Amino acid sequence: MASSSKYKFGLLWSVGFVAFALVPVLMTSRYQMNLASHILIWGLFAVAFNMLWGVTGMLSFGQALYFGIGAYSIGLFVNHAGKAWYLPAIPIGLVAAAMLSFLLGLLVIRVSGVYFTMLTLAFAQLAWQVTFKWYDFTGGDDGIQGIIAPGILANKMVYYYFVLVVVFISVWFLKRLAYSPFGLILRCVQQNPNRVRFIGRSVKMNQLRIYVISSVFAALAGSLMVGVDNSIHTDMLFWTTSGEVILMSVLGGINQFFGPFVGAVILILLEDIIGAKTEFWPIFLGTIVLIFVILFPKGVVGEIQHLRHRLKIAGESGGRHETHASA
Amino acid sequence: MKPMLRLEGLRKSFGGLRVTDEVSFEIQPQEIAAIIGPNGAGKTTLFNQITGYLAPDGGHVFLEGQEIAGLTPQKIVKMGVGRAFQIASIFPDETALDNVRAACMSKLNQTRHLWRPVERFNRATEQAFAVLASLGLERQADRMAYELAHGDQKLLDIGIALVLEPKLLLLDEPTAGMSPEERQLTRQLIKQLWAQYKLTLIFIEHDMDMVFGIAERIMVLNHGALIADGTPGEIRNNKEVITAYLGEEA
Amino acid sequence: MDLYFIVTQLISGFTMATLLFLIASGLTLIFGVGNIFNFAHGSFYMIGAYFGYQLVSVWKVNFWIALVAAGTGAGLVGAAAEFLFLRRIYGRAQEGGFQILLTYGLILIFDDLVKLIWGTEYKSISKPSGFTGALQLGDIFIPTYNFAIIVIGLVVVVAAWWILAKTRPGRIARASAVDREMLGSLGVNVPLVLTVVFGLATALGGMAGALAAPLRSVTPGAGIEVIIDSLIVVVLGGMSNFWGAWLGAVLLGEVNAFAVAYLPAWSTLFSYLVMVVTLIFRPEGLFAPTRLRKV
Ligand SMILES: Nc1ncnc2c1ncn2[C@@H]1O[C@H](COP(=O)(O)OP(=O)(O)OP(=O)(O)O)[C@@H](O)[C@H]1O
Ligand SMILES: [Mg+2]
């Protein structure tokens, strides 16, 4: 069983990679490649976020902060120190995100549940306010425009493949992490934090570690975004950005590793199709959220798997009932 | 030889309620002892203080001569105190194997690995299987913990504690909620585990067959105070114990 | 340093504190009683403000009647939202996260509906007649409207506290915070209690919105700022602690008033600063009598 699912997974992985790799070849417009880049980057962001929520049970409403750090690191260095700083600014941004998430993490993990959610939100909004108000340094509400990646990365096609490779490697790393002993402990932290203490592990320490890791990947996603849009804006730090990855995760399914990625695909395509036709996209989005939260809390991937599982059981034994005990 | 566990004048109150009242006793290595007492006598609370879940208001807890009162559960677990809970405390959405394997990896200090998949950790996997086998759960290894029968969940909880290779194992009502047949099996199993793993074992139980069947020593708590401590024979004939169980008027 | 200036700022801070407390007490109420975190609570503040605008500025209704009507309207919308949506997810695994998400969905919908109905421009309400001037106490002038807010706020809060602490429905509501199943088995209609409490809590928020409208302009998207401010209040006071929330509101209101006076550009940062300091030194809340219990 393990080997067949591994094989299936490898197949899925290759199909996904090839599909995305073919986008520049099959596309009919620049715009489609742009859309595909957005999907890849948001997919990475959402998968990294879900390591916090779906895996560890920490619903952060402030990951936009780190997404913004990744982007603004490049923007600010290029703007204030010169074009040569574009590439060095990426690792600098990642390190900055790691350090900040470590320090803030020490604070926010002191509380749990909704307190955690709201505190992460408050810190991210604080960063947004600073960015918004500090016009001389950050460009305030104007953001920073015309940031061009150096060398061959300035070529949109090359940059697309650059994004593709970085995203796939990152997601692969996170996938390995999810199924490693560390990932197992994280799931245990969500399911029964008390028991985790009684097997000799610190709940807070593990929460802090994944908070830092998830935030660094959020920053990486933010830094990749710069070369796609060639500009950055305070909206990247705004709370709706944090909300977006949460929605992607729910749409796709928070209990499946690839759920959030699928959610990113769905949400971005929907936004592209519906958002173009109406000013009132948020009403649609809000309605979709209500429908999923109330009727399909497992998300698209989760509900499909659930259905397949049910069909399989019905096929095997003529319908056996499942009981689900809670913790 | 130093006692495995020594309590000295342990005290704890919740509001005005005295739940642990000057409790002192010693447990020698490889003893098997039972703690009994009416509901609400403070048995679980006593375990909570020994294992670091609650800090005592006063008094001492020594593990092999070393003070552990007030330490965190993590530290105490690492010093060799394992614990299973009154209500099975497991990881419901993991397989039975992963429940035990997670604990085992914690003991082997492998929980920081974030690249190699869990299945490739052979030593942890073997040890986890061995513990599942000694509990008779090897055929449930790949099932989700929430799918297991109640009795098997209780055993799994013990398995999680056992794989940590504790010197001192505390079991809180291991047979609670089990059918009579399951109780019978569990009773034998626990006695066998005690011998096999050379454990020092303290268990809380309401099932008197189990208490008088396998404990070498019985301690009786009532209203937080230790009212009797002796061999099964001594306890059986203790007036105070009988009064505690049958009520003040009896 | 000018003493009059300081007193003026104190009063302005106290006005803001009263509004904050009205909002935060609604948040605390529904969290304390129903263990429901209403992320959209700020949206009800916004809805109340728009209802007030519609009634007062468009339909020329008397301000005080409009105030009650706006609060009631927001409360009805809240009760409906609880009845239609929230109650469908009670008791589910990871309920807390889904509550936040569901109410996030409501924020998206309400914010946009407000834009759809009233447009994106700033709206304003003029102060009610007779409350445009100032009271004079010696050399100090207190704007009458601020004074009215403080009085109304105190009345509402004391009344809410009295209902919760002293009346039978209030005791039932508080008991449902402790043990829903128990109450259900005693024949209390717990879902109804939750709907009513949710309605009352959102009505408090909506009233605060209408009350604040003459002082702050009415805008779509005001909800999120408000929810963060009330969250800070709640963090300071300790969640589900009524009087703690009041002290938290006063502290935040005063800090804000003085920050606005001395460092206007960065005033909003001070609220966060207070919260960060609190979290570092007293994560269970500045005014919480007991330690925060682990969930
Ligand atoms: N955290 C707590 N806060 C307040 N009171 C508590 C707490 N834990 C336990 N108690 C009270 O302390 C008393 C002793 O509880 P404890 O769980 O230790 O009893 P027990 O002997 O294990 O009973 P049982 O046989 O029913 O398991 C009870 O009255 C209980 O209500
Ligand atoms: Mg007990």
Mean pLDDT of A35-60: 96
Q: Is C280 on the interface with A (CB under 8 A)?
A: yes
- Least confident span in A276-290, A313-327, B92-106: A313-327
Contact assignment for A122 to C275 by CB distance below 8 Å:
yes
C231 part of a folded domain: no
* Residue A6, pLDDT score: 65
The answer, yes or no, to whether any atom of ligand 1 lies below 6 A from the CB of B6, is: no
C28 part of a folded domain: yes
C258 part of a folded domain: no
A290/chain C closest Cα distance in angstroms: 6
| CB contact residues (below 8 A), chain A span 265-324, against chain B | 322-324
Tokens 């914690």 -> residue: B106
* Residue A326, pLDDT score: 38
DSSP letter at A52?
I
CA dihedral C167, C173, C177, C179 (to 10 degrees): 90
C260 part of a folded domain: no
Res C144 pLDDT > 60: yes
* Residue C176, pLDDT score: 74
Q: Is C275 on the interface with A (CB under 8 A)?
A: yes
* Residue C229, pLDDT score: 85
C255 part of a folded domain: no
Which pLDDT band, with edges at 50, 70 and 90, does A317 fall under?
A: low
Please name the member of A184, A194, A327 whose beta carbon is closest to the beta carbon of B118: A184
For residue C287, the tally of other CB atoms under 10 A from its CB is 18
- Least confident span in A105-109, C31-35, C175-179: C175-179
* Residue B244, pLDDT score: 76
Which of A262-271, C16-25, C131-140 has the largest mean confidence? A262-271
Q: Is B93 on the interface with A (CB under 8 A)?
A: yes
Q: Is A5 on the interface with B (CB under 8 A)?
A: no
Mean pLDDT of A112-128: 88
pLDDT, tens digit, 9 for 90 and up, residues A291-309: 999 999 988 888 888 888 8
C211 part of a folded domain: yes
Please name the member of C105, C239, C265 whose beta carbon is closest to the beta carbon of A133: C265
* Residue B242, pLDDT score: 79
- Least confident span in A194-203, A247-256, B74-83, C253-262: C253-262
Distance CA C80, CA C169 (A): 20
Ligand nearest to the CA of B172: 2
Which of these, B170, B228, B231, B162, lies nearest to B45 by C-alpha position? B170
DSSP letter at A134?
-
* Residue A321, pLDDT score: 45
* Residue C117, pLDDT score: 93
Dihedral sign computed on CA atoms, order C51, C56, C59, C64 = positive
* Residue C168, pLDDT score: 83
What does pTM read for this prediction? Answer: 0.91
For chain A, give the percent of residues with pLDDT over 90.
65
Instruction: Tell me the sheet residues that pair with C140.
Output: C137
Res A327 pLDDT > 60: no
* Residue A13, pLDDT score: 81
- Least confident span in A156-160, A228-232, C268-272: C268-272
Contact assignment for B105 to A185 by CB distance below 8 Å:
yes
Q: Is A188 on the interface with B (CB under 8 A)?
A: yes
Mean pLDDT of B201-213: 93
* Residue C294, pLDDT score: 33
Mean pLDDT of C150-179: 82
Domain range enclosing C31: 3-221
pLDDT, tens digit, 9 for 90 and up, residues B69-122: 989 999 999 999 999 999 999 999 999 999 999 999 999 999 999 999 999 999
Domain boundaries, given as residue ranges, for chain A: 2-238
Which residues make Cβ contacts (< 8 Å) with residue C87, sequence separation at least 6? Answer: C191, C194, C195
Which of these, C27, C78, C14, lies nearest to C241 by C-alpha position? C27
Q: Is B169 on the interface with A (CB under 8 A)?
A: no
The answer, yes or no, to whether any atom of ligand 1 lies below 6 A from the CB of B86, is: yes
Distance CA B66, CA B83 (A): 19
Res C134 pLDDT > 90: no
Half-sphere exposure of A267 (CA within 13 A, CB side): 33
What crossing angle do the helices spanning B150-162 and B180-196 adopt, rounded to 10°? 10
C293 part of a folded domain: no
The answer, yes or no, to whether any atom of ligand 1 lies below 6 A from the CB of B19, is: yes
Mutate which of B45, B51, B54, B170 for ligand 1 pocket (most atoms within 8 A of beta carbon) = B45
Tokens of A304: 């499909």
Considering only CA atoms, which residue is closest to atom 28 of ligand 1?
B40
Res C290 pLDDT > 50: no
- Least confident span in A109-113, A158-162, C195-199, C263-267: C263-267
Contact assignment for A323 to B147 by CB distance below 8 Å:
yes
Mean pLDDT of B184-191: 93
Ligand nearest to the CA of B55: 1
Q: Is B117 on the interface with A (CB under 8 A)?
A: yes
Mean pLDDT of C119-123: 88
Q: Which chain C residues are Cβ-neighbours of A123 within 8 angstroms?
A: 272
Q: Is A180 on the interface with B (CB under 8 A)?
A: yes
pLDDT, tens digit, 9 for 90 and up, residues A169-227: 999 999 999 999 999 999 999 999 999 999 999 999 999 999 999 999 999 999 999 99
C146/chain A closest Cα distance in angstroms: 28
Mean pLDDT of C206-226: 87
Contact assignment for C295 to A113 by CB distance below 8 Å:
yes
Please name the member of C98, C116, C292 whose beta carbon is closest to the beta carbon of A297: C98
Average model confidence (pLDDT) for chain C?
A: 84
Q: How many domains does chain C have?
A: 1
Q: Which chain C residues are Cβ-neighbours of A125 within 8 angstroms?
A: 224, 228, 272
State the distance from the centre of ligand 2 to the C-alpha of B42, rounded, in angstroms: 7
Average model confidence (pLDDT) for chain A?
A: 90
Considering only CA atoms, which residue is closest to atom 2 of ligand 1?
B14
Mean pLDDT of C188-197: 85
Q: Which chain A residues are Cβ-neighbours of B91 within 8 angstroms?
A: 187-188, 191-192, 195
ipTM score here?
Answer: 0.93
Reduced to 3 states (helix: H, G, I; strand: E, B; else coil), residue B202 is strand
Which pLDDT band, with edges at 50, 70 and 90, does C223 fall under?
A: confident
Distance CA C255, CA C236 (A): 13
pLDDT, tens digit, 9 for 90 and up, residues B3-61: 999 999 999 999 889 999 999 999 999 999 999 999 999 999 999 999 999 999 999 99
Which pLDDT band, with edges at 50, 70 and 90, does C289 fall under?
A: low
Q: Which chain A residues are Cβ-neighbours of B72 within 8 angstroms?
A: 197
Query: Amino acid identity, residue A277?
Result: K
Distance CA A141, CA A132 (A): 6
More confident: B240 or A289: A289
Tokens of C13: 């801070």
Size of interface A-C (CB pairs under 8 A): 106
Contact assignment for C266 to A282 by CB distance below 8 Å:
no
* Residue C239, pLDDT score: 63
DSSP letter at C290?
S
Contact assignment for A188 to B102 by CB distance below 8 Å:
yes
* Residue C164, pLDDT score: 79
Q: Which chain B residues are Cβ-neighbours of A325 within 8 angstroms?
A: 92, 146
More confident: A213 or C168: A213
Res B151 pLDDT > 50: yes
Res A3 pLDDT > 80: no
Mean pLDDT of C158-173: 82
Which pLDDT band, with edges at 50, 70 and 90, does B247 fall under?
A: low
Q: Which chain B residues are Cβ-neighbours of A184 within 8 angstroms?
A: 94, 98, 101-102, 105, 111, 118
Q: Is B44 on the interface with A (CB under 8 A)?
A: no
For chain C, give the percent of residues with pLDDT over 70.
95
* Residue B240, pLDDT score: 82
Res A12 pLDDT > 60: yes
Q: What is the length of chain A?
A: 327
Please name the member of A195, A201, A324 whose beta carbon is closest to the beta carbon of B90: A195
Which pLDDT band, with edges at 50, 70 and 90, does A23 fall under?
A: confident
State the distance from the centre of ligand 2 to the C-alpha of B40, rounded, in angstroms: 7
Which residues make Cβ contacts (< 8 Å) with residue A181, sequence separation at least 6? Answer: B102, B105, B110, B111, B112, B113, B114, B116, B118, B121, B124
Q: Are A56 and A212 in contact (CB under 8 A)?
A: no
C238 part of a folded domain: no
Q: Is A103 on the interface with C (CB under 8 A)?
A: no
Contact assignment for B90 to A199 by CB distance below 8 Å:
no
